[in-house]
């Protein structure tokens, strides 16, 4: 029986050896792909760290308006690099759009064209540029965001007051580059 048990174990080992060899090959290939993917992500982030120093965002987003008037933020993005960068997404801090209780502005649009994404984060509303905005080397482009201040009643504000709304606008580029700028506007409620 001892010899019979050894023969069964030997038979099972010989039967499973090709299957285990193939599984080992797949495991090695999977590990190589994972390491390669991590290396590419590292390279992309490193490239972004080099490019971010030469992308300059100049904001014009300090407005004073009355209720019912348009608010326009203009961000000039200058690419001082020797290669193109791609602007993919813009995030607008919700404190620029609403208070805890009420919406304070009506969104009009973004130029170049952007589509609102459903976002998981509660502090930012995210807009994806459709198509993405390619900024040529040594060139600049303007991003314009337009809102309309709501009426005193719609905003839940007190008449004869001025309210200041502050928040950040983040621009997300390829190579995992994220640049933020602060914006604010004042609304006179009548």
- The helix/strand/coil state of 169 is strand
**Range(s) of the domain holding residue 152:** 55-189
Q: Tens digit of pLDDT per residue, the chain (190 long)?
A: 567 778 888 888 888 888 889 999 999 999 999 999 999 999 999 999 899 999 999 999 888 999 999 999 999 999 999 999 999 999 999 888 887 778 889 989 999 999 998 766 678 889 999 999 999 999 999 999 999 999 999 888 888 899 999 999 999 999 999 999 999 999 999 8
CATH number for the domain harbouring residue 102: 2.60.40.1530
Residue 3 in domain: no
Q: How many CB atoms lie within 10 A of CB 75?
A: 21
Our count of domains for the chain comes to 1
157 phi/psi in degrees, rounded to 5? -95, 165
The percent helix, strand, coil of the chain (3-state, each to 5) is 30, 50, 20
Look up the pTM and report it.
0.79
């Amino acid at each position: 029986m001892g010899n019979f048990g050894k023969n069964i174990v030997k038979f099972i080992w010989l039967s499973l050896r090709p299957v285990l060899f193939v599984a080992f090959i797949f495991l090695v290939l999977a590990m190589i792909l994972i390491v390669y993917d991590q290396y590419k992500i590292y390279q992309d982030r490193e490239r972004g760290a080099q490019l971010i120093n030469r992308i300059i965002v100049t904001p014009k987003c300090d407005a004073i308006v009355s209720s019912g008037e348009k608010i326009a933020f203009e961000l000039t993005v200058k690419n001082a690099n020797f290669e193109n960068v791609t602007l993919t997404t813009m995030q607008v801090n919700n404190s620029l759009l609403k208070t805890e209780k009420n919406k304070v502005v009506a969104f009009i649009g973004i130029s170049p064209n952007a589509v609102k994404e459903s976002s998981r984060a509660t502090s930012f509303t995210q807009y994806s540029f459709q198509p993405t905005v390619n900024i040529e080397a040594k060139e600049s482009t303007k991003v314009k965001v337009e809102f309309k201040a709501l009426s005193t009643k719609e905003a839940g504000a007190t008449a004869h007051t001025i309210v200041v709304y502050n928040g950040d606008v983040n621009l997300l580029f390829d190579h995992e580059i994220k640049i933020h700028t602060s914006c604010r506007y004042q609304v006179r409620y009548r």
